[in-house]
Amino acid sequence: MQEYTGISNERIRDLFASGTGYETPKVDVRASVFKDGRILMVREKIDGAWSLPGGWADVNTSVSESAARECFEEAGARVKPKRVIIIHQADKHYDFPYPFTIYKIFVECELIENRFSANTETLAADFFAIDSLPPLSNERNTREQIEICFEAKKHELFETVFD
């Protein structure tokens, strides 16, 4: 595993230590939330870069519940999930290897209200136009994925992009 991914044996052991049984894909849910033609992003504490609000789906929660929870926890945004716009297998769209499979699910959400407050995961939340995106947390989302979110927002009958 270390030879394939370049990840240290210690890190691989930590990643798999809590898992039992058959390894199944992890699910990362990202929310695409717009206001005045700009997309909501959060500044990650882990790397100081920006991403769409999101994170691992919790056990016994749906994709829409996960999107709404992550928006509230990371951006202080109350949202109503509307539709899935992207489902990507991470290793097909990112330049770094993972020792397990990750499905990235991007959900378009309607903004109800937004009041950012200090939290354990993010430093800030703001809305950005496609031509003025901040430095991206590329492990969480790519420019291409954000561009797809902007494209989906333009079309009510947008066809989900998936691998």
Residues 52-109 pLDDT 10s: 999 999 988 999 999 999 999 999 999 999 999 999 999 899 887 777 899 999 999 9
pLDDT computed for residue 95 by the predictor = 85
Radius of gyration of the chain (CA): 16
- Segments forming the whole domain that contains residue 138: 2-13+23-162
Residues 96 and 7 sit within 8 Å (Cβ to Cβ): no
> What is the CATH classification number for the domain harbouring 36?
3.90.79.10
Q: Is residue 123 part of a domain?
A: yes
Tokens found for residue 74:
């990371």
Q: Is residue 133 part of a domain?
A: yes
132-153 pLDDT per residue, tens: 999 999 999 999 999 999 999 9
Residues 132 and 39 sit within 8 Å (Cβ to Cβ): no
The total number of structural domains in the chain stands at 1
Q: Is residue 131 part of a domain?
A: yes
How is residue 120 annotated by DSSP?
S
Which residues sit opposite 80 in a β-bridge? 110
Q: For residue 20, give Cα distances in angstroms to 16, 17, 34, 122, 132.
A: 8, 8, 39, 30, 43
Q: Is residue 18 part of a domain?
A: no
Q: Is residue 114 part of a domain?
A: yes
Could you tell me the pTM of the whole model?
A: 0.88
Q: Is 42 exposed, middle or buried (0-12, 13-18, 19+ CB in 10 A)?
A: buried
Which residues sit opposite 114 in a β-bridge? 77
d(Cα 102, Cα 15) in Å, to the nearest integer? Answer: 13
Q: Is residue 116 part of a domain?
A: yes
pLDDT computed for residue 97 by the predictor = 76
